Amino acid sequence: MSEFKKTVLCIGAGYVGGPTMAVMAHKCTNYKFHVVDINPKRIDAWNSSDLPIYEPGLDELVFERRNKNLFFTTEVAQGIAEADIIFVSVNTPTKTYGHGAGIAADLQYWEKTARQIAEVSTSDKIVVEKSTLPVRTAEAMSKILKANSRGLNFEVVSNPEFLAEGTGIEDLLTPDRVLIGADESPSGQRACQEIADIYSHWVKPERILTTNVWSSELSKLVANAFLAQRVSSINSISALCEATEADVNEVAHAIGTDSRIGPKFLKASVGFGGSCFQKDILNLVYIARSYGLEEVADYWEQVISVNEWQKSRFVRKMISSMFNTLAGKRIVLFGFAFKANTGDTRESPAIEVTKQLLEERASVVITDPKAIENAKIDLVEYLDQIEFEEDPYKAAEGAHAIGVMTEWDLYKELDYQRIYESMQKPACLFDGRNVLDHSALHELGFHVFPIGKSPLVHH
């Protein structure tokens, strides 16, 4: 007899699977949590002192629970066979080939997982969709499982993850809400209760929302679309502020204090990134088009178009303010991660900015406290044209310009007098996150170009 009440398996040891299971293992010590992945390097890292992802608070939780009720292995089949509940948290990127390329979700990893669950199971299972998926994917999952069930019962439940990287552990410990979508049948409702039981170890009942499966799947896509829409909305206004001498921070504050609008996600920047926003909106657009809802699709597609435009606008501003040529100029990017407190660079605006700077024949230097290794992977085709330097002071030596790409606290605390002195003159600073003290930098001698505000230049 196992010492544990239930065995939970998580397939996919990524940014979602690892932290989610670490928090569950910390809160439900009477359950066993087994995290599996097909990538042995990732699993080795989860079992080492140097975890494969950086997330504040994650190390402590993993080190506390690992090999007690939290296990990381590559034994996918064995894990499936032993589990009562299976969370599937594999990647669901945008398709890069065939029909729907560049827009639809690539469900190959998802389907392989479904087939493997059906193939190796010897007892009934609850299968939980943790990955973000197109609405009605649970139906496909159920069909694959049922077609291969050999008399077993599989109940598919949707439980999308709303954590944000950089605050992932905090978000998991104190979620705004947990969403569980399940079939309305008695067995569906029993499965829903089993998942709610896990969360009720630390989440209040009023924050555990239950819906039908389709509402749950769609809500995740819609939440990301609305968040990204707020960023693109304020970024579109940032351009208007630059043209009219309004200040985007003042506008954001003025509108954000309206309780109907609210203050969050109104920060103008060089653009949003991350593995989810773009792919989930594309997914929504694809689904809307597949139902013939062209206007709905066009509406949401604009959120992405504005984001692409904002990144290009940032580079164009560099060009026009540096005498219309960047050729041969040393430009240092402060930060490469898509946001602070993560090493994740997926869809980071810094990727596109770097590529456009290289097209202008600039000499690009990248510095970041956590993301240099990922940056090298993203820019693998350009490695001979880029310098990577962890020390921001060394990176800035001899530079013509700095572009702030990530709002790391460390960039707010640097000695900019020292940096200014080591740079070429005129020294330009483009603050793509509006996080530095622009007047102080201007006083030091920099030409300062914020987002959505008048530049502070010397004549």
Ligand X SMILES: NC(=O)c1ccc[n+]([C@@H]2O[C@H](COP(=O)([O-])OP(=O)(O)OC[C@H]3O[C@@H](n4cnc5c(N)ncnc54)[C@H](O)[C@@H]3O)[C@@H](O)[C@H]2O)c1
Q: Are 180 and 161 in contact (CB under 8 A)?
A: no
Nearer to ligand X, 79 or 452 (CB): 79
Supply the minimum distance, in Å, between the C-beta of residue 67 and ligand X.
20
Supply the minimum distance, in Å, between the C-beta of residue 268 and ligand X.
22
Nearer to ligand X, 277 or 314 (CB): 277
Between CA 63 and CA 382 the distance in angstroms is 37
**Alpha helix (H) ranges present in 322-453?**
349-359, 372-378, 392-396, 416-422, 438-444
Residue nearest to ligand X (CB): 14
Supply the minimum distance, in Å, between the C-beta of residue 201 and ligand X.
21
Q: Please report, as ranges, the residues that interact with ligand X according to CB under 6 A.
A: 11-17, 36-39, 42, 76, 89-92, 109, 112-113, 131-132, 161, 163, 165, 275-276
What are the CA-CA distances from residue 145 to residues 110, 186, 225, 302, 445 (Å)? 12, 19, 30, 37, 66
Supply the minimum distance, in Å, between the C-beta of residue 7 and ligand X.
17
Nearer to ligand X, 376 or 442 (CB): 376
- Which of these, 33, 32, 35, lies nearest to 13 by C-alpha position? 35
- Which of these, 64, 58, 24, 63, lies nearest to 370 by C-alpha position? 58
- Sign of torsion over alpha carbons 298, 304, 308, 311: positive
Asked if residue 134 has a cis previous peptide bond (ω within 30° of 0), the answer is no
Phi, psi of 317 (to 5 degrees): -65, -40
Between CA 331 and CA 449 the distance in angstroms is 14
- Which of these, 340, 325, 332, lies nearest to 393 by C-alpha position? 332
Supply the minimum distance, in Å, between the C-beta of residue 429 and ligand X.
30
Nearer to ligand X, 88 or 318 (CB): 88
Among residues 10, 28, 241, 276, the one annotated as catalytic is 276
Nearer to ligand X, 249 or 345 (CB): 345
User: Is 192 a known active-site residue?
Assistant: no
Catalytic machinery residues:
276
